[in-house]
Amino acid sequence: MRIAGMTPLLQVFDMLEALAFYRDVLGFEVEAASPEVDAPEGRFSHWVALQRDGVSLMLNTAYDEGERPAFRVDMQQRAHADVCLYFACADVDGVYEDLRGLIPDLAAPSNAPYGMRQLYLRDPDGYALCFQAPVA
């Protein structure tokens, strides 16, 4: 068996907010999307495939149009906290410099005892993201 890749699918509360984070802050590009819908929450696609530097990620709305509650469901947010996506990158400190003006209160990267330099952050839905590289 040969596996050629993997693409996580993240369930999001607000697609427009999630896209603003992944596209506008992290620099992912929309590769494909479901048809847009008009909803009380705005005009958006329920499903979006994103890509950056050979890394793929999919986002899918947690609710159909008009069914989204006014606020995030705390139980879902806590469940998302169990998920962490690790991104390999050559320059963790460079990623920090790029993001620190865009993400309030972003903590500086640190070295883990197992030899990785890591920058942790959370997306709007509470998923953890870690940009990491081996310590030189």
At 136, is the pLDDT very low, low, confident or very high (cuts 50, 70, 90)?
Answer: confident
Q: Of the candidates 71, 97, 114, which is a domain's last residue?
A: 71
Straight-line distance from the first to the last Cα atom of the chain, in angstroms, rounded to the nearest whole number: 34
Got the DSSP string for 32-65?
A: EEPPEEEETTEEEESEEEEEETTEEEEEEESS-T
Indicate if 126 and 100 belong to the same structural domain.
yes
pLDDT in tens, 95-134: 999 999 999 999 999 999 999 999 999 999 999 999 999 9
User: Are 55 and 101 part of one and the same domain?
Assistant: no
How many domains does one find in the chain? 2
Q: What is the pTM of this model?
A: 0.91
- The CATH number assigned to the domain holding 42 equals 3.10.180.10
Largest CA distance in the chain: 50
Confidence of residue 73 (pLDDT cuts 50, 70, 90): confident
Q: Is 110 helix (H, G, I), strand (E, B) or coil?
A: strand
Residues 67, 1: one domain?
yes
Q: Same domain for 57 and 96?
A: no
Check residue 13 and give its pLDDT. 94
pLDDT in tens, 36-62: 999 888 899 999 999 999 999 999 999
Residue 60 shares a structural domain with residue 21: yes
What gap in Å lies between CA 105 and CA 83, rounded to an integer? 21
Instruction: Tell whether 49 and 88 lie within a shared domain.
Output: no
